[in-house]
Amino acid sequence: MLTLAGIYIHVPFCSQFCTYCDFYSVKETGQREAFTESLIREAEFRKDYFKNRGCRVKTLYFGGGTPSLLSPASFAAITKSICNFFEIDNPADLDEFTVEVNPDDASPEYLSALYLAGARRLSMGVQSFTDAHLKWMNRRHDSATALNAFGAARSAGFQNISIDLIFGFGSLTEEVWQETLEKAVELSPEHISSYQLGIEPGTKLGRDYEKGTYIPLPDESSYRQYSMLQEILTKAGYIQYEVSSFARPGKEAKHNSSYWNHTPYLGLGPSAHSFDGSERHFNPPSLSKYLLQTNWDAFAKREKLSERDHFNETVMLSLRRKEGLDREHLASRFSSQLSSRFFSDAARLIKSGELEETGGKIRIPSGKLFLSDGIIRELFQ
């Protein structure tokens, strides 16, 4: 039986940096063509990554950085090369082909070019519909631009669009958050991802926090905003299938779900990482090194996962999903030493209401998903 696999392409370029983002990115300085050539070379070297593993590529994802800074010609060249190297007959026929786009880049012409090249799903970094908040985040677009970009995407033929929204930051009131969610529902994207703003070291937000010029929203307020997110989107017909992910029925993010299901994937580009089922492989987080690389036989770093690593990842990834963790699968896949301790800890958390179990599935109740990180940490072995 063939295992489905995915390919992720990391496009590191940004024209400006968001206050909160810690993903690897660099200022765009005319290196896009050189990057395109290097990425195609890497893809050719990696074309046998899934060979002898019984895998077939079924999802493709352009992330970043800002993939929509690539020219249509570069995007088409990369897509065509990947299809050639990995025996993909038609990219439009993949289970999912997603491109992250910044609303400011989403002109009708550009979106039509993405669609023509085979992309059928967009992930749009909207983040907010409040201009003052977008400016504070150092986003390039305003609310009107986001709304126009969404309409242009529909006109270009995209019938599967995801938007990102951020909650839980200091200046976001419950009233504004409700308006944000109502606007999102009115747009009716197929998928909504929503994340609590995190404070990451090395970001502008992290520095502002250290200086005391940024005051985070209290956890109780963030919890109320998360509850509003769940309530409003559920009422609008979205299904919450993961801590941060809501979808119309059948429109769950297939590529991201492959990560949560421990499906093998290949990452291309600077800072990208891959997983073959037993090991993780890492590219260097440096565009300059990436552009100079000529031998792709070895990864910059390899990480062999122990049974304990696999166990803890399975627990974490399963409990982030509403589907939960299958008791029988866990017991049969891992040693009794690991699983018995887990089931003992889980029984305690079920008793306290932080977990629930039905039909052999252990899961975090909807009302406790906001606390999922802490609950999951208690179950690590």
At residue 9, the pLDDT reads: 98
Are 217 and 338 members of one domain?
no
At residue 299, the pLDDT reads: 85
Residue 3 in this model has a pLDDT that exceeds 70: no
At residue 235, the pLDDT reads: 98
* Residue 265 resides in a domain: no
Least reliable range by pLDDT among 15-24, 118-127, 346-355: 15-24
Residue 117: give the domain boundaries: 3-260
The residue-averaged pLDDT of 41-50 equals: 93
Report pLDDT digits (tens) over 350-376.
999 999 999 999 999 999 999 999 999
CATH number at residue 370: 1.10.10.920
Are 318 and 198 members of one domain?
no
Check residue 198 and report its DSSP letter.
Answer: P
Are 256 and 316 members of one domain?
no
Residue 380 in this model has a pLDDT that exceeds 60: yes
At residue 164, the pLDDT reads: 98
At residue 313, the pLDDT reads: 93
Which residue, 260, 284, 319, sits at the end of a domain? 260
pTM of the predicted protein model: 0.95
Are 326 and 201 members of one domain?
no
Question: By C-alpha distance, which of 116, 32, 123, 25 is closest to 69?
Answer: 32
What percent of the chain lies above the pLDDT cut of 70?
99
* Residue 270 resides in a domain: no
Are 251 and 321 members of one domain?
no
Give the pLDDT band (50/70/90) at residue 233: very high
At residue 1, the pLDDT reads: 45
Least reliable range by pLDDT among 294-298, 306-310, 317-321: 294-298
What percent of the chain lies above the pLDDT cut of 90?
85
Amino acid in position 362: I
CATH number at residue 253: 3.20.20.70
Rounded-to-integer distance, Cα 135 and Cα 153, Å: 23
Give the pLDDT band (50/70/90) at residue 69: very high
Are 70 and 194 members of one domain?
yes
Are 133 and 204 members of one domain?
yes
What domain count does the chain have?
A: 2
Residue 141 in this model has a pLDDT that exceeds 50: yes
Sign of CA dihedral 73, 77, 78, 83: positive
End-to-end C-alpha distance for the chain, whole angstroms: 32
* Residue 266 resides in a domain: no
Give the pLDDT band (50/70/90) at residue 27: confident
At residue 294, the pLDDT reads: 82
Rounded-to-integer distance, Cα 192 and Cα 139, Å: 19
Report pLDDT digits (tens) over 250-290.
999 999 988 888 888 999 999 999 998 889 999 999 999 99
Rounded-to-integer distance, Cα 194 and Cα 165, Å: 5
* Residue 293 resides in a domain: no
Could you tell me the CA-to-CA distances from 371 to 8, 84, 219, 316, 376 in Å, in that order? 29, 44, 10, 13, 9
The residue-averaged pLDDT of 134-162 equals: 97
At residue 2, the pLDDT reads: 52
Amino acid in position 246: F
Average pLDDT, the chain: 94
Are 150 and 245 members of one domain?
yes
What is the biggest distance separating any 2 CA atoms in the chain, rounded to whole angstroms? 58
Rounded-to-integer distance, Cα 92 and Cα 99, Å: 13
Which residue, 260, 292, 325, sits at the end of a domain? 260
Residue 336 in this model has a pLDDT that exceeds 70: yes
Length, in residues, of the chain: 381
Report pLDDT digits (tens) over 180-232.
999 999 999 999 999 999 999 999 999 999 999 999 999 999 999 999 999 99
